[in-house]
């Protein structure tokens, strides 16, 4: 009973994550459709996707340092949830591409606040022996949102592949309001997603401490495990973002209706959930480094074939299931390896540095993907992501 009560905050955190991620992943494909309805092209889609990560680049390390100095993550968790609830309403009301980009940036800040509260909470409050499983469940909650959200977005946008722009815009705005309503449901749950018990810290610790100066960014980047896991995480997360942002464009090019794109994105997310739930079992057979290498190579090589075979819905579904399985595998492992590589009083900062790298990738790579998609077509964005994944796997060290 005591153990169940001691991890109740974790289940509340996971419950909040599910609702917030459903709202987030309902909103993000709709942003691409709204950009198209407002007259934007692939470059505009790439820029809007990049704006999601732009403000988080500026504040990620500051938030991470702040999380290291707190004994409770409640305020950051609730702030992130509130921003995630407000952003879809702002997106729905945005009348221009510029304001869509601004609202997308607010959505990104909310996502960062929630993630930067959740990951350090697990790193500090969950015993090391259960950390892989806890990170696996936390990231599986994100994948569940990535499964349900696009399905709802596809249903909201309808089965028509070439609906008039005014109809598309109206449908997207209505679905964005629904996304906001779902996130509002997460707010009361977020208040229970916090604990002050520090499972991985000495029991005598009574107050938050400031991370010592030696734990600077340069110091953290000097740890090989931190650098290599940041690169892997950046490649995996940016690829997921590019798939969400550019698959609607690939679908438009191939005559696939939004509901079909929603189903394909849901299949990818379901495969990611599967790999994350199977992670503790796989770690009995393979090393963390081996699994991350498999994640990068498997996702990269499979993604390279997707644009050529996307016209066949069955093959596209199979390929996205494989891609999703490998994409989901690596992220929770990078969190554990970074957590174990740094001192306890620098875990929040190290995980924030990982998130900063992720956001830098989410800014730079979608912009590059949009510019490449202009001459090469939407498939060019996916090929670029494939190349990034393969480069990240080549640079991965053999041993830790």
Which DSSP string corresponds to 312-341?
A: SHHHHHHHHHHHHHHHHHHHHHHHHHHHHH
Q: What pLDDT, on the 0 to 100 scale, is given for residue 202? A: 40
| More confidently predicted of 388 and 321 | 321
For the cut 70, the answer to whether the pLDDT of residue 208 exceeds it is: no
Q: What's the CA gap between 119 and 196, in Å, rounded?
A: 15
Alpha helices in the chain (DSSP H): 2-6, 8-37, 42-68, 74-93, 97-125, 131-157, 165-190, 217-221, 224-254, 258-277, 279-285, 288-309, 313-341, 347-376, 379-394
Query: Hunting for tokens 């942003």 — which residue is that?
Result: 31
Full DSSP string of 177-206: HHHHHHHHHHHHHHTTS-----TTS-TT--
With a CB cutoff of 8 Å and minimum separation 6, the contacts of 14 are 137, 138, 141
Cβ atoms of 362 and 50 closer than 8 Å? yes
Q: What's the CA gap between 17 and 117, in Å, rounded?
A: 11
Q: What pLDDT, on the 0 to 100 scale, is given for residue 386? A: 86
With a CB cutoff of 8 Å and minimum separation 6, the contacts of 202 are none
Token pair of 288 as six digits: 């963390």
Least confident of 14-18, 78-82, 136-140: 136-140
pLDDT in tens, 222-266: 777 777 888 888 888 888 888 887 888 888 788 887 788 888 988
Pick from 13, 129, 26: which is nearest to 77 by CA? 13
Pick from 34, 54, 40, 181: which is nearest to 105 by CA? 54
Pick from 158, 167, 180, 198: which is nearest to 19 by CA? 180
Would you give the distance in Å from CA 177 to the centre of its chain?
A: 21
pLDDT in tens, 17-65: 999 999 998 888 888 888 888 888 778 887 887 788 777 777 777 776 7
pLDDT in tens, 320-341: 999 999 998 888 888 888 877 8
Q: What pLDDT, on the 0 to 100 scale, is given for residue 162? A: 60
Q: What pLDDT, on the 0 to 100 scale, is given for residue 184? A: 94
Pick from 22, 293, 13, 20: which is nearest to 137 by CA? 13
Q: What's the CA gap between 157 and 257, in Å, rounded?
A: 9
pLDDT in tens, 147-199: 888 788 878 776 545 667 777 788 888 889 999 999 999 998 888 766 554 44
Q: What's the CA gap between 102 and 393, in Å, rounded?
A: 34
In the 8-state DSSP scheme, what is residue 39? T
Q: What's the CA gap between 273 and 262, in Å, rounded?
A: 16
Q: Name the pTM for this structure.
A: 0.68
Token pair of 330 as six digits: 């690596």
Pick from 80, 122, 67, 125: which is nearest to 349 by CA? 67
Cβ atoms of 41 and 326 closer than 8 Å? no
For the cut 50, the answer to whether the pLDDT of residue 396 exceeds it is: no
Q: 396 — alpha (psi -120 to 50), left (phi > 0) or beta?
A: beta
pLDDT in tens, 275-285: 888 888 888 88
Pick from 354, 73, 139: which is nearest to 230 by CA? 354
Pick from 379, 382, 391: which is nearest to 296 by CA? 391
With a CB cutoff of 8 Å and minimum separation 6, the contacts of 398 are 289
For the cut 70, the answer to whether the pLDDT of residue 286 exceeds it is: yes
Least confident of 147-151, 169-173, 200-204, 390-394: 200-204
Ordered by where they begin, the domains of the chain are 2-197+215-394 (1.20.1250.20)
């Amino acid at each position: 009973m005591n153990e169940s009560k001691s991890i109740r905050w974790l289940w509340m955190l996971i419950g909040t994550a599910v609702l917030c991620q459903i709202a987030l992943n309902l909103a993000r494909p709709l942003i691409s459709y709204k950009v198209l309805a407002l007259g934007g092209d692939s470059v505009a889609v790439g820029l809007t996707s990049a704006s999601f990560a732009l403000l988080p680049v500026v504040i990620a390390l500051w938030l991470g340092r702040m999380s290291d100095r707190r004994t409770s993550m409640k305020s950051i968790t609730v702030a992130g949830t509130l921003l995630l609830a407000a952003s879809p309403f702002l997106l729905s009301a945005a009348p221009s591409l510029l304001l869509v980009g601004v609202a997308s940036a607010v959505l990104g800040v909310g996502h960062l606040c929630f993630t930067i509260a959740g990951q350090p909470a697990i790193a500090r409050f969950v015993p090391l022996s259960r950390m892989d499983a806890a990170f696996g469940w936390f990231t599986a909650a994100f994948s569940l949102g990535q499964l349900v959200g696009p399905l709802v977005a596809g249903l909201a946008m309808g089965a028509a592949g070439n609906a008039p722009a005014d109809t598309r815009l109206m449908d997207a705005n209505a679905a964005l309001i629904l996304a906001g309503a779902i996130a509002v449901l997460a707010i009361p749950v977020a208040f229970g997603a916090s604990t002050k018990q520090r499972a991985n810290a000495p029991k005598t610790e009574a107050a938050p401490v400031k991370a010592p100066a030696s734990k600077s960014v340069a110091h953290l980047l000097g740890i090989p495990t931190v650098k290599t896991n940041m690169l892997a995480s950046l490649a995996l997360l940016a690829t997921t973002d590019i798939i969400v942002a550019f698959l609607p464009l690939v679908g438009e090019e191939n005559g696939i209706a939004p509901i079909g794109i929603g189903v394909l994105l849901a299949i990818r997310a379901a495969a990611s959930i599967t790999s994350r739930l199977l992670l503790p079992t796989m770690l009995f057979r393979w090393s963390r480094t081996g699994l991350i290498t498999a994640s990068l190579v498997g996702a990269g090589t499979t993604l390279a074939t997707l644009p050529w075979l996307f016209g066949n819905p069955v093959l596209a579904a199979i390929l996205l299931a494989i891609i999703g399985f490998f994409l989901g595998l690596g992220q929770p492992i990078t969190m554990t390896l970074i957590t174990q590589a740094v001192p306890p009083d620098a875990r929040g900062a190290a995980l924030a540095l990982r998130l900063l790298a992720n956001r830098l990738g989410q800014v730079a790579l979608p912009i590059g993907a949009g510019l490449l998609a202009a001459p090469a077509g939407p498939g060019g964005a996916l090929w670029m992501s494939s190349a990034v994944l393969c480069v990240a796997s080549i640079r991965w060290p053999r041993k830790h």
